[in-house]
Structure 1
């Protein structure tokens, strides 16, 4: 199977996802969050850094659950039109 290159929109969504998860993680260590979500710390690091722009849905669901983020909130943040203001993770956590 040949994997097609990511589009610029997919790369940007991956970067937004990483930033959202990093912010939501706050002071918690990457190791703690990864272990709680049952993913490897390396996987979480790659997602947070944007190196994995299209992670598997179960992976994101597990991380979002550990961080107290709803999947609706995650999707709304990463799929907003380019240049439009988004909410940050602290706002999502407060709502």
Structure 2
């Protein structure tokens, strides 16, 4: 199966998600958060840096749970309409 290339907007949305997760992590280590969410530290690093702009739903759900973020809040902050408000 060939994956359709991501649009610039999708890349930007992934970068916003990464910034939000990194900010929510604060001083906690990447390894600690990743282990608590059941993912590898490398996966979290890729998400936070925007190199994985479209992480799986369950990955984002696990990270939001560990970081105390609501999925609604994340979705709203990552939407195109939120660009000017972030």
* 1:6-44 Cα distance to aligned partner (Å, 9 max, x none): 001100000000000000000000000000000010000
TM-score norm. by structure 2 comes to 0.96
Match of 1:92 in 2: none
Match of 1:23 in 2: 23
**For the aligned residues, what is the CA RMSD?**
1.1
Question: Higher helix fraction: Structure 1 or Structure 2?
Answer: 2
Runs (4+) of structure 1 exceeding 3 A deviation are: none
Structure 1, unaligned runs of 5 or more? 87-95
TM-score norm. by structure 1 comes to 0.87
SS in 1 for 2:85: coil
Question: What is the CA–CA distance in structure 1 between the aligned matches of 2:17 and 2:83, rounded to whole Å?
Answer: 15
SS in 1 for 2:52: coil
Question: What is the CA–CA distance in structure 1 between the aligned matches of 2:74 and 2:28, rounded to whole Å?
Answer: 19
1:80 shift after superposition: 3.9
Structure 2, unaligned runs of 5 or more? none
Distance 1:72 1:83, change over 3 A: closer
